[in-house]
Amino acid sequence: MIIVTVSLLSAITGQVSTLGMMTISNDGTGTHQVGNYDARRLKGPDFKLSNVSSAARVEKHPRLSQSVWKLVAKALEALP
């Protein structure tokens, strides 16, 4: 599972606050070259894995020729 966290580091106080979180999970139906993934945006303020606000799919991602950042971008675009 990939966990993407968006945090804010305050320049004034130095405090770190989590603004958002999402998970991307391989669903096991792809091949070595192509993966299918479930993406979930988590609700704050605690961002527990059981607190899903929206979900989407990324299918046929060429995992060997595209970086993880391309997968993250596809997941963000797919989420409503």
How many whole angstroms separate alpha carbon 25 and alpha carbon 35?
10
pLDDT band at 63 (very low <50, low <70, confident <90, very high): very high
Note whether 62 and 37 are within 8 A (CB): no
Question: What pLDDT score was predicted for residue 14?
Answer: 97
Residue partners of 73: CB distance under 8 A and separation at least 6: none
For the chain, how far is it from start to end, CA to CA, in angstroms? 20
Find all residues with CB under 8 Å of 19, minimum gap 6, and list them: 6, 7, 8, 44
- The pLDDT value recorded for residue 41 is 98
Whole-number average pLDDT of the chain:
97
Strand partners, 9: 16
